[in-house]
Amino acid sequence: MATKTVLVTSGTTWAIPTDLDRLSNVTVTCIGAGAGGSSGINLGSVVSGGGGGWSQSSISLRGVSTVYVNVGAGGLGGPSGSGSGDPGDLGGNGGDTWLNKAANSAPSSATNGALAKGSDQNTGGEIALAIGDTKYSGGVGQS
């Protein structure tokens, strides 16, 4: 059996191709979005945004024709703050990325899909909050 790789980069649903073997489990991999870096103007140094988490599950798509997806957006870079240490310097958080075969929300179990957490400035996408058979945290932002 040949491997089929599909990259979903936007949208809220994905129609499963008719030529996909639904009798075998499929591997779903999700990567959470990274946070935006700081402006560095008021912090005294630039802080890079943390990396998004990674999660993978093996799921059955028997009887399923469409799955729900969310592709997390990367965090925006930090704007200028109003003065020393103003939180306005920090970049925005990265969004969560997930696939769920059962509902239009992040899955609550690896049986239904995978969830990779987006990151913030202080932590990478957190493994404890992810859903999947295999999960990794994202890297921490550095100054």
- Report which listed range, 45-59, 103-117, 119-133, is most confident: 103-117
What does the mean pLDDT of the chain come to?
86
Q: How confident is the model at residue 14 (pLDDT cuts 50, 70, 90)?
A: very high
Which of 27-31, 38-42, 52-56, 82-86 is the least confident region? 82-86
pLDDT of residue 59: 96
Q: How many CB atoms are located within 10 Å of the residue 99 CB?
A: 26
Closest CA to 72 of 141, 125, 6: 125
Give 126's contacts (C-beta < 8 A, 6+ positions apart): 53, 117, 137
**Cα–Cα distance list, 57 to 48, 114, 115, 135 (Å):** 29, 6, 9, 9
pLDDT of residue 34 exceeding 70, the answer is yes
Its pTM surpasses 0.75: yes
Q: How confident is the model at residue 51 (pLDDT cuts 50, 70, 90)?
A: very high
